[in-house]
A and B are shown apart, each in its own frame.
Chain A
Amino acid sequence: MADKSEETRTLSRLSAPDRPRRRDILVCACLGVGILTVLMASGALGFGPWLAGALTLSALAFIYWLTALTTAEARPAPARAERRSPEGEAADVMLGRLSIPVLLIGPGGRIERANPAARAFLALGSEGGLLSTALRQPRVLEAVGAALKGERAGVVEYSALTPVESHVRAYVEPIRLDVPGPLPFRAMLVLADETSSKRAERMRADFLANASHELRTPLASLSGFIETIAGPARDDPEAQERFLGIMRDQTERMKRLIDDLLSLSRVEMNEHLPPSSVTDLAQLAADVIDSLSPVAAARSILIRAELPGGPALVTGDRDQLHEVVENLVENALKYSADGSSIRVSLHDGAGRDAAEYAETRLGEAASRMTLTAPAYEAEARYAAIRVRDSGVGIDRRYLPRLAERFFRVDGQKSGPTSGTGLGLAIVKHIVTRHRGGLTVESAPGGGSVFSVFFPKAAEPAQALETRESAE
């Protein structure tokens, strides 16, 4: 639709006369000669001046005609476009439906045509501007420049790591158009998104490296215990019992580690594909609190929930969001002393700044750190969940590393009950996938607040109605 209207606009622009046309020049020149002839006939002008005037006019007309010739040459092309064959039209429709970005770059690096996929991919406005403003990749621009001179440019790969990681392979081909003039070449630019395969490649390597590295320690201790049970402790049932208990804990830990690694890999794999379903964050938080209240009750920790009455709809995958909130509340429980309390609160419809941090700081010594955040948009609205624990707090210098995989703050207890060091890494990747944010505020001795925020879902009309009627 948009393409068509643009095409008509281009056509009208091209056929609009912004220089005198041949016919106009001829008419003007004839009129001039006619006036001169009338003047001569009436005796006001001699033959000599008449001849000079007429010749000058014809010469001028000739020069103008020549210039008109060079500018008018663009016209046959749109005329041909109007009488396009059905095949040509089909090719256009195909280009429009194609999900791969395809662009045609004209002289000077101006985008002459871009299919809808390309418009979406490069976030182009309605009008085709210059390629260098839309795609700031020096190597692609170089290749396009070469193609515009008619040289073969070939394939260029580029990676953008911010705000969302993506790897793209750009195919650049020169196209010689059938237009006269010094610049017959256009460059065709095809962008192939290879993020998925690149990611899969790296995930596999990472998984193997992490798994082999992190499993080595529990495996070494297992084999040590097995040797002890088979050797020195062969006839000591009491020691065997104790060792078997430790071995059970270690295998549990290995199992958790592998589960977490797998879950992390799964999340990372889809990180570049934003979710499309809608989830009620308020309900989800209530569910998580319900499911974890037995754990809290066993350690007489009070979970205070501050949730608004209505739903808080965000764009997100329910299972993954559940994992995020569950992880945060579990962490809060883990690092709070028995008999203390934690607080889970939901803030709906907050702007970017309000979503990132609570209005009041934890204390004078509190420091804040954004672990991940989406690209800044002033109009975006978010729903944020904050989980506040009453633990010992985290030293400021460790804050940036919290979401690093396997990172542990020094002196943190390690043992069978401790986590795998992957919880916050998983949270971070899920949040990134949802184009949301994860922040932490911590005051040594005063506890920590972890906040996650997710973009609000566009409210469906029906839900709005039911809420209004409920009110």
Chain B
Amino acid sequence: MVQGPHIVKAFSEELEQIAAQVATMGGLAESMISDAIDAVVKRDNDLAADVIARDKQVDQMQHDLEKQVIKMLALRQPMASDLRVCISALKLVTDLERVGDLAKNIARRARDLNAVEPLALTKSVERMGRLVQGHLHQVLDAYSTGETDRAVGIWERDDEVDEHYNALFREMLTAMAEDSQLIGPGAHVLFVAKNLERIGDHATNIAEVVHYLVTGRELTAERPRGAPLGQPE
């Protein structure tokens, strides 16, 4: 999201590079989520190990991008929309780095889950995972294209993720109450779901940053929330 050329061509190019690298990092985080879910669903330990290894790459990218943005702030003193590009890049890399961590965490849990018998609830995990992944994908698209409407649309839809999480939580608790054998793996599944729910929250953060980047204003309205987690039956 870079507007109009600058007199100094290198400045425009550097801004564009920053935006492109944030998008690349977003792509990396997206692929990590996708593979982490696959590792859970297909019970693939190699894929899980791969996701865990890729987290280092995300951390490295965050480090590089932060350095680049700080250099840009120091050397070119950007203003107005240029400044927002820099500030939002700083915010986005933090969110994306967290998303990478959460994906890594899911991959770790996948390895533990693969050590025990398959669970019936992985379909629910997959469904929730794809939903969250779709949200992240769409806000990153909105970042690349500058469509605030789309970002706000996703921002408003985070309660869908919460609703999926609540349903999975209740179902898992019922299953665990019926069969104490399920408590171990069930706890892992609950954490996987919690991590996915957090990734959804980071996607809404990104939507807020995209809105700020394009309009210069903050998204002020109270984010709609799903009804609070019900008591387990």
A residues adjacent to B (C-beta < 8 A): 108-109, 129-130, 132-139, 141, 159-163, 352-353, 367-370, 375-379, 396-401, 404
Contacts and interface: CB of A to CB of B under 8 A. Distances in A.
B16 A130 contact: yes
B167 A132 contact: no
Contact of A132 (B24, B134, B153): B24
Contacts of A108: 17
A369 B28 CA distance: 29
A136 B140 contact: yes
A163 B24 contact: no
Nearest to B149: A378
Contacts of B133: 161-162
B144 A133 contact: yes
Interface string B129-170: 010011001101000100101100110110010011011101
Contact of B24 (A138, A367, A369, A400): A138
Contacts of A375: 134, 138, 150
Contact of A401 (B23, B124, B156, B227): B124
Contacts of A161: 34, 130, 133
B167 A398 contact: yes
Contacts of B157: 370, 376
Contacts of B144: 133-134
Which of A109, A397, A398 has the largest count of B CB atoms less than 10 A from its CB?
A: A397
Contact of A109 (B20, B34, B163): B20
Nearest to B170: A397
* A interface, over-half SS: mixed
Which of A162, A368, A399 has the largest count of B CB atoms less than 10 A from its CB?
A: A162
Given A132-B27, A134-B144, A400 B124 contact: yes
B200 interface: no
Interface residues of B, number: 42
Contacts of B30: 136
B171 interface: yes
Nearest to B169: A397
A100 B174 CA distance: 50
A400 B168 contact: yes
B1 to A, nearest CB: 9
Interface string B106-133: 0000000000000000011001101001
B27 A138 contact: yes
A162 B134 contact: yes
Nearest to A164: B134
A133 B23 contact: yes
A17 B10 CA distance: 18
Nearest to B148: A378
Given A161-B133, A370-B160, A396-B166, A401 B123 contact: yes
A317 to B, nearest CB: 24
A133 B19 contact: yes
A401 to B, nearest CB: 7
B8 to A, nearest CB: 13
Contacts of A136: 23-24, 26-27, 30, 140
Given A369-B164, A397-B167, 6 more contacts: A130-B17, A132-B24, A367-B163, A370-B160, A397-B171, A404-B127
Interface in B8-62: 16-17, 19-21, 23-24, 26-28, 30-31, 34
B138 A137 contact: no
Contacts of A159: 34
B20 A130 contact: yes
A162 B127 contact: no
Contacts of A137: 27, 31
26 contacts: A108-B17, A109-B20, A129-B20, A130-B17, A132-B23, A133-B23, A136-B24, A137-B31, A138-B27, A138-B31, A139-B31, A160-B137, A162-B138, A163-B137, A367-B227, A370-B157, A376-B138, A376-B153, A376-B157, A378-B153, A397-B166, A397-B174, A400-B124, A400-B164, A401-B124, A404-B127
A16 B82 CA distance: 27
Nearest to A353: B156
A369 B131 CA distance: 12
Contacts of B150: 375-378
Nearest to A160: B137
Given A130-B16, A136-B23, A400 B170 contact: no
Contacts of B128: 400
A421 B228 CA distance: 30
Nearest to A158: B31
Contacts of A129: 16, 20
The 7 closest A-B pairs by CB, nearest first: A136-B27, A378-B149, A376-B153, A162-B134, A397-B170, A130-B20, A132-B24
Contact of B163 (A133, A134, A377, A399): A399
Given A133-B23, A133-B144, A138-B28, A396 B154 contact: no
Contacts of B127: 400, 404
Contact of B20 (A132, A368, A399): A132
Given A376-B154, A378-B150, A400-B127, A141 B24 contact: yes
B167 A400 contact: yes
A404 B167 CA distance: 14
Given A162-B137, A376-B153, A397-B167, A141 B123 contact: no
Nearest to B35: A159
B169 to A, nearest CB: 8
Contacts of A353: 156
A130 B12 CA distance: 13
Contacts of A378: 147, 149-150, 153
B166 to A, nearest CB: 7
B163 A369 contact: yes
Contacts of B26: 136
Contacts of A401: 123-124, 167
Contacts of B31: 137-139
Contacts of B138: 162-163, 375-376
B137 to A, nearest CB: 5
